[in-house]
Amino acid sequence: DTEVTQTPKHLVMGMTNKKSLKCEQHMGHRAMYWYKQKAKKPPELMFVYSYEKLSINESVPSRFSPECPNSSLLNLHLHALQPEDSALYLCASSQGHLAGAGETQYFGPGTRLLVL
């Protein structure tokens, strides 16, 4: 299984809602990532988890809260979002064995989020 899955595919939420995005991989990877991609822009890194611990937070607002309950699962909890948070949210994973060195990252199909 060389796939990263993300649910839901689409999400519409109001600014007072609480919702969660889910990402799953069964490749035995120990590093997982959240990226945000605005329309016609490249992906931007938000968070990195390494061995279920948060290792990088790219100064993301606290209304985005990541969680890694186990090595296969990565969640992104959303609360009190703004319309400008509307974007494609991409999850990725990599082996996680090479600390500090580059590894091939495998991306999921993304969740398209619209905040009204």
Q: Applying CB under 8 A, which residues contact another protein?
A: 4, 6, 31, 33, 41-45, 48, 50, 55-56, 88, 90, 92, 94, 96, 99-110, 112
Report the C-alpha gap between 53 and 25 in whole angstroms: 16
Task: Output 51 or 61, the one with its CB closest to another protein.
Answer: 51
Task: Output 52 or 80, the one with its CB closest to another protein.
Answer: 52
Query: Quick one: the chain helix, strand, coil %, rounded to 5?
Result: 5, 55, 40
Joined tokens for residue 22? 């889910």
Kindly give, in sequence order, each residue whose CB lies less than 8 Å from that of residue 73, ignoring residues fewer than 6 positions away: 22, 23, 24
Please state the closest distance from residue 16 (CB atom) to another protein, in A: 27
Please state the closest distance from residue 82 (CB atom) to another protein, in A: 22
